[in-house]
A and B are shown apart, each in its own frame.
Chain A
Amino acid sequence: MLMKLEELRKEFQTALASVTTQAELFDLKAEYVGKKGKLSTILKSLKDATPEEKKSLGAKSNQYKTEILAEIDNKLSGLEVAEINEKLEKNWQDISFKDSISEKGLNTAGLHPVTIIQREIEDIFISMGFDILDGPHIEDEFHNFEALNIPKNHPARDMQDTFWFKDMEHLLRTHTSTIQVRGMENKKPPFKFVGPGKVFRNETLDASHESVFHQLEGMMVGENISVANLIYFMKSLLSEIFKKDVNVRLRPGFFPFVEPGFELDIECLICGGKGCSVCKQVGWVELLPCGMTHPNVLKAGGIDTDKYNGFAFGLGLDRLVMMRYGIDDIRNLHSGDLRFSTQFKAY
């Protein structure tokens, strides 16, 4: 009897291995462990056996039944997954065919590099409590010159090649300093703000000169503002921009709207001040003009100069952008050429 039982167990295993569909599996289940299956048939013949035989064979057959059922279940789930997978395979897609290798034209997106840097600087100033202002591009002589202590025939007007309109009274702003004037007209001291924007100069175009470019003007007016404060702000700003502490130096510079006026140099970031081709062996790179706002400018802006003073500075944004990304030709900035833009893609 026991032999029969063990043969049956082996026979089942062979049969199970050859099953490939769920239907076959259900047939096999009925054949072996069904009510009229082979296992039942064997058990039915037990009635003639001795009690000892009954006991051991009964246990054995129960064990086999459990095992067989488990194997069937196992096989069943395997077959089910295989069948679903077969269906899934029919819906196969080529997951290597990504946008990045697909010719769908230009599929990138991103901000203009000037916007990227301008935002970065705006955020630094916002974090230091500065407002952000702008003003018109088309200005009058008062806002571009007179209010900035640059009267008619002042030699400083020579330094700026101004674009004039036909009426000879209006012009394209040559610097963002006009935003200072507009800022003072609209604000009561103390205040501090920056003004980024486009400026225009009649310059011969080449790789480093454009007639349209960007500046960022800054101004702080309050009581007892000092040169020491100005240096502090400039150092903080530059450490944020360059993401490390930078050494700066102020040397006298002449700008009619500031007194004292400075050229701020930063220690060359390439050579660390030792002298290299970038800094023309000087160890310093000229970066921004700044100074204490001239009393005439404050007066033109309606500020009480007995009580208040302030500082102002200007930053060439395009120059920073070009330094950051190693752009060799400023004319790319306003070209509208996407071969340029796509290099600054966000994704």
Chain B
Amino acid sequence: MIISIDWIKEFVNIPEMSDKDLSERFTLGTCEVEDVIKTGELLSKVLVVEITAIEKHPEADKLNLVTFKVSENETRQVVCGAPNVAVGIKVPYAPLGTSFPDGFTLVPKKIRGVVSEGMLCGEDEIGLGSDTSGLMVFPADAPIGTPVGEYLGIKRNTLLDIDNKSLTHRPDLWGHYGMAREFSAVFGVPLCKLYSEEWAERLKKNFTNDASPIVPQVADDCACLGYYGISVDNVEVKESPQWMKDRLNDCGLRPINNIVDISNYVMLELGVPLHIFDREMIKDEKIIIRTAGEDQKFMTLDEIDRDLLAKDTVVCDSEKPLVIAGIMGGLESGVTEKTSKIFIETANWVDSEVRKTSSRLGLRTDSSQRYEKCLDTELLERTCLRTLELVLKLCPEAKVIGKLEKDGVQKKETLVIDMKASHINNVLGTELSVERITEILESLEFHVTASGDDLKITVPSYRSTKDMEYDVDVIEEVGRIIGFDNITPVSPKTEITAVRLSQAKQLQRKIQDFMVFHGRSLEIMTSPLIGSKLLKNAEWHENNDELVLVNAMSRDRERMRPSMIPSALEAVALNQKNYSRFSFFEYGRAYKEDEKNFSDERTQVIMAWYDKKESRFMEALNTFENMMAFTNVPAQEAKPNPKFPNPLFAADWRGLHPSERVDFKIQGKPAASIFTVHPIVLRNFKIKGNLVLAVLDVTDFEERAMKDKTKYEPLAKYPSSTFDCTVLASPKTPVADVVSAAKKLKVKELQSVKVVDVFSLNEDQKTVTIRAVFGDKEKTLEGDFIREAEDKLVAALDAAGFPLKR
């Protein structure tokens, strides 16, 4: 919203200060000033000049060298390309050094070799119109050398561009008078209260004893909070005076005619929208405020047919709707050049109803955005009288018929807040006196009765529509006027308690760190919102149809992902274009449909190992095992068991490799899986090469404290004995089977069994060399005992189907 300082000064004397200080102090005290705009600056520099000679530019056909008088005895010359240039005409001239609103400043320069001393302007270039065809031409009597602004009577002004968002909660600031009150409080200067009781009484003297032609009737079930109206005859519709046009232009509204301009002017001044009807277009001179009911179509004055709902509130005559309440009037009942009898309406509407209707219709107007903020019904009479005042001023022949009529006015209770001055100081961290607090609040037109520390604060009705409700609201008023900046920062006094990261956070950090420092992996983030196409490509069994957004921005971001796996596949597909090998991980969430709780959010870690050529399965598996050890989370390898299906994917998912897959149980439940992705699914993503994924769902145990189970044992005092033996096995026998066969040996001195070597003999056989360690903590084992144990080991292996290689 634009605030005109010239207008504000009608109500309050702002102390002299720079624009920067003005906007900064107002920003800190009231609302955000986004920009300070100077108007009339340019026109105070641009002069009226008379062209005296024209000659062709020696180097360019379309350009002329134009000589003109800037005063009776001084001429200058510019290069000019305007087609309407002619000797004797008076035109605007911008001398060197003139800055234009777009930031361009005229500097001395040669145009095709000829020096140009500035620029002759068209009306578009100096903001006086939209004609771009040539130079602006002034009447012959325009005085040479006079600044154009002065000649046209255009005043210089300062405009503040206020961020509307910072006014969301302040309906009282949507007009200049309310803003002026803030200037008065922020800068500590008195507010000139123009609209007093006496003022109102004076205007009411224009009322007559005639019956009012229109007496509005408000139906009970509509969104009206109060409706005032007055009829005026003998109105002459014409152009508004310049001062009014200037103010409307400054605030960004186009002047139309005096009556329409008055309604806009009053809205900009007092913040309350109003409507002026051509009374002769009101059928039967009846104004009825009701819900639309069966009236389903209405053409607004922008000539668009609007669909009404039965419960929308409308202002009607005896037949049809004339205005959509609080939003926009119709085409027919508006003021035209022929209008002479008018009806002035000021009304208030339920904020949420206006908001609902206006957002449904996609019609946000100057009016609706004010009503949405919740206006004060008590301002209606003043607004109507001010409108009347201006109508009578601009149309001295106009006559009021009857008096100000009203209906449906809902009284609201005066808001009184009882609180302690010390509470204000406690919350702000200040030491303000009761007098100072009272002074601040009274500058904002609150009424304060103080008795010791106790304050009884009466809130002005225009502040208590929504904004002011509680004692904290009063605290804000005091704080912003003294300036929150003037509060000294103080550390709170609190108890000391030990704080550390939650278990879940600790686990997350451990996993992230391990994957970076040991897994040599890059952390990525992908969107939790995905499309069904991705799930289809991944051949995923869950579609999450319940977790679909109604207002998704695109098809590929329309639903919550049921697993991190499809996202990882997508990321691999993207990155394989740039890298022949990479590893990444993501710590994120998967979202499951849940009948009871709507959704079940699972925290999952997905890890990917990709290589264009080779398999990285063993690297992945070892990294994963080490990672789990590092986190102290006990994880056991678990054979897939149809009784306890792995919830991380469907048992028949085609993305699983037939053999390269290991699942882990945590707390007895399948919670992790490491697998090579089947080429069939890789093909859907056009992924070439080899991809291993590991997925770990931490949701069920992340909050559990994981104990460090490390226990010290004294170092062995007696030597142990090692025994290597090589056995035969079939090529696809897992070496772990050989080790576990050896470990079954019932000799307590067997301390460990490890694989030393595996060697492929031929297509049918391989050899596995294992090393067993025998030892006793208490003594050195005797030779006979060792030999016997070794024989038993060989026999046990043999019995398990692994004969000794001879």
Chain A residues proximal to chain B, CB less than 8 Å: 103-112, 114-115, 119, 122, 126, 129-134, 136-138, 140, 152-153, 155-156, 158-159, 163-170, 172, 190, 192, 198, 200, 202, 204-205, 211-212, 220, 222, 224-229, 231-233, 235, 249-254, 259-263, 292, 294-295, 309, 333-339, 341-342, 345-346
Closest B residue to A339 by CB, please name it: B578
Cα distance, A109 to B522, chains bound together (Å): 5
* Cβ B523 vs Cβ A110 within 8 A: yes
Ordered by A's residue number, 19 sampled pairs between the chains whose C-beta atoms are within 8 Å are A104-B580, A111-B523, A133-B502, A153-B351, A155-B373, A164-B549, A164-B551, A168-B550, A226-B429, A228-B429, A249-B485, A252-B30, A252-B31, A259-B472, A260-B472, A260-B484, A309-B427, A337-B524, A338-B522
Q: Is B736 an interface residue (CB 8 A)?
A: no
Q: Is B426 an interface residue (CB 8 A)?
A: yes
Cα distance, A231 to B527, chains bound together (Å): 35
Q: Is B491 an interface residue (CB 8 A)?
A: yes
* Cβ B472 vs Cβ A295 within 8 A: yes
Q: Is B119 an interface residue (CB 8 A)?
A: no
Q: Give the interface centre of A122, A198, A254 by most chain B CB atoms within 10 Å.
A: A254
* Cβ A249 vs Cβ B28 within 8 A: yes
Cα distance, A225 to B430, chains bound together (Å): 12
Cα distance, A167 to B598, chains bound together (Å): 10
Cα distance, A163 to B557, chains bound together (Å): 11
Contact pick for B470, options A152, A235, A259, CB 8 Å: A259
Contact pick for A336, options B488, B525, B560, B580, CB 8 Å: B525
* Cβ A138 vs Cβ B475 within 8 A: no
Q: Is B29 an interface residue (CB 8 A)?
A: yes
Q: Which residues of B contact A220 (CB under 8 A)?
A: 492
Cα distance, A235 to B479, chains bound together (Å): 19
Contact pick for B598, options A106, A119, A170, CB 8 Å: A170
* Cβ B599 vs Cβ A129 within 8 A: no
Cα distance, A74 to B496, chains bound together (Å): 72
Closest A residue to B603 by CB, please name it: A134
* Cβ A112 vs Cβ B355 within 8 A: no
* Cβ B501 vs Cβ A153 within 8 A: no
Closest 8 CB pairs of A and B: A228-B429, A105-B581, A260-B476, A226-B429, A336-B571, A153-B352, A232-B489, A250-B484
Cα distance, A112 to B587, chains bound together (Å): 10
* Cβ B494 vs Cβ A198 within 8 A: no
Quick check: which of B61-69, B163-171, B438-446 contacts chain A, the rest being far away?
B163-171
* Cβ A108 vs Cβ B522 within 8 A: yes
* Cβ A103 vs Cβ B580 within 8 A: yes
* Cβ A336 vs Cβ B524 within 8 A: yes
* Cβ B578 vs Cβ A122 within 8 A: no
Contact pick for B526, options A153, A204, A334, CB 8 Å: A334
Q: Is B612 an interface residue (CB 8 A)?
A: yes
Contact pick for A109, options B479, B496, B520, CB 8 Å: B520
- A-B contact sample (19 more), CB < 8 A, given A137-B589, A225-B427: A105-B580, A106-B581, A109-B522, A126-B500, A126-B501, A129-B496, A138-B560, A155-B373, A158-B359, A190-B495, A198-B528, A227-B484, A232-B491, A235-B489, A250-B28, A254-B165, A260-B475, A338-B584, A339-B578
Q: Of residues 372 to 402 in B, which have CB atoms within 8 Å of A's CB atoms?
A: 372-373
Q: Which residues of A contact B351 (CB under 8 A)?
A: 153
Chain B residues proximal to chain A, CB less than 8 Å: 27-32, 165-170, 351-352, 355-356, 359, 372-373, 426-430, 470, 472-473, 475-476, 479-480, 484-485, 487-492, 494-497, 499-502, 504-505, 509, 512, 515-517, 519-529, 546-553, 557, 560, 567, 570-571, 574-575, 578-584, 586, 589, 591, 598-599, 601, 610-612
Cα distance, A133 to B485, chains bound together (Å): 31
* Cβ A163 vs Cβ B591 within 8 A: no
Q: Which residues of B contact A338 (CB under 8 A)?
A: 522, 524, 575, 578-579, 582, 584
Contact pick for A156, options B168, B429, B526, CB 8 Å: B168
Cα distance, A138 to B589, chains bound together (Å): 11
Cα distance, A108 to B515, chains bound together (Å): 11
* Cβ A227 vs Cβ B494 within 8 A: no
* Cβ A131 vs Cβ B547 within 8 A: no
Closest B residue to A172 by CB, please name it: B549
Q: How close is A15's CB to chain B, nearest CB, in angstroms?
A: 51
Q: Which residues of A contact B426 (CB under 8 A)?
A: 224, 226
Q: How close is B465's CB to chain A, nearest CB, in angstroms?
A: 13
* Cβ A336 vs Cβ B574 within 8 A: yes
Q: How close is A337's CB to chain B, nearest CB, in angstroms?
A: 6
Cα distance, A136 to B594, chains bound together (Å): 14
* Cβ A170 vs Cβ B553 within 8 A: no
Contact pick for B427, options A172, A192, A226, CB 8 Å: A226
* Cβ B427 vs Cβ A292 within 8 A: yes
* Cβ B601 vs Cβ A137 within 8 A: yes
Cα distance, A155 to B373, chains bound together (Å): 8
Contact pick for A129, options B499, B529, B549, B557, CB 8 Å: B499
Q: How close is A3's CB to chain B, nearest CB, in angstroms?
A: 64
Contact pick for B490, options A108, A168, A226, CB 8 Å: A226
Cα distance, A140 to B598, chains bound together (Å): 10
Given contacts A156-B168, A190-B494, A263-B32, contact A251 B484 (CB under 8 A): yes
Closest B residue to A132 by CB, please name it: B505
Cα distance, A152 to B551, chains bound together (Å): 18
Q: Which residues of B contact A227 (CB under 8 A)?
A: 427-429, 479, 484, 487
Given contacts A105-B611, A156-B168, A251-B32, contact A111 B516 (CB under 8 A): yes
* Cβ B549 vs Cβ A109 within 8 A: no
Q: How close is A317's CB to chain B, nearest CB, in angstroms?
A: 12
Given contacts A190-B495, A227-B487, contact A137 B528 (CB under 8 A): yes
Q: Which residues of B contact A333 (CB under 8 A)?
A: 525
Q: Which residues of B contact A342 (CB under 8 A)?
A: 522
Cα distance, A335 to B549, chains bound together (Å): 21
Q: Which residues of B contact A252 (CB under 8 A)?
A: 28-31, 166, 476, 480, 484
